[in-house]
Structure 1
Amino acid sequence: MSSKQGGKAKPLKQPKSEKKDYDEVDMANIQKKKEEEKALKELRAKAQKGPIGGAGLKKSGKK
């Protein structure tokens, strides 16, 4: 039984997609979306800096 059929079959390659031609409205929407993503990234980065609120769980001091 020395056939090449054993094992997993390789997936077929997908054809490369063609470059799309965008008009001005599409380009404006894409640019706006990129700016919103950038603003969200900056806000997330700022939100992760430093503690928010209290010091977390406090120990009572009892042993």
Structure 2
Amino acid sequence: MADAAPKAKEQKYIHMWGVKQNNLKNIEVEIPLGSFTVVCGPSGSGKSSLAFETLYAEGQRRYIESL
């Protein structure tokens, strides 16, 4: 009996949609969990708004809710 092929690991994501923060205008983003992700773009394009004001704030909110 041949060994079964290993199952592909299901990738999990942080899903964000409808983000409206400073320069971000109703964007939709999927960021893979467990991966190193880089946010890049020109000055004023919303990189910091996405990374700090959206992702960080959501992480804090979920942590507080879990207590």
Normalised by the length of structure 1, the TM-score is: 0.37
Identify, as 1 or 2, the structure richer in helix. Answer: 1
Identify, as 1 or 2, the structure richer in strand. Answer: 2
Larger RCO (alpha carbons 8 Å, 6+ apart): 2
